[in-house]
Structure 1
Amino acid sequence: MSIQSEKVQEIVNSDKFKQLVKKRLSVSLTLTAVMLIIYIGFILAIAFNKDALAYKIGKHLTIGLPIGIGIIVFAWLLTGLYTRWANQSYDKSVEELRDQILQK
Structure 2
Amino acid sequence: MNDSVYRRIEQSPRFRELVFKRERFAWILSAIMLGLYLAFILLIAFEPQLLGTRISPESTTTWGIPIGVGLIFSAFILTGIYVYRANGEFDDMNQAILDEVQK
Structure 2: any 5+ residue segments left out of the alignment? none
Report the alpha carbon displacement of residue 4 of structure 1 after superposing the two structures with TM.
2.0
- Per the normalisation by structure 2, the TM-score is 0.92
Pick from 43, 46, 52: which aligns with 1:45?
Answer: 43
* Structure 1: distance between partners of 2:75 and 2:3: 39
**Partner SS, residue 76 of structure 1:** helix
Pairwise CA RMSD: 1.2
Percent same amino acid among aligned pairs? 36
Determine the C-alpha separation between the residues in 2 that align with 1:54 and 1:32.
Answer: 28
Q: TM-score, normalised by structure 1?
A: 0.92
How far residue 9 of structure 1 moved from its aligned partner, in angstroms, is 0.7
Moved runs in structure 1, 4+ residues, more than 2 A? none
Is 1:8 equivalent to 2:6 in the alignment? yes
The equivalences for 1:68-83 within 5 A come to 68-83=68-83
Structure 2 matches for 1:19-38, cutoff 5 A? Answer: 19-38=17-36
How much does 1:71 deviate?
0.7
Mapped partners of 1:87, 1:18: distance in 2: 18
Equivalences, count: 101
Letter in 2 for 1:69: V
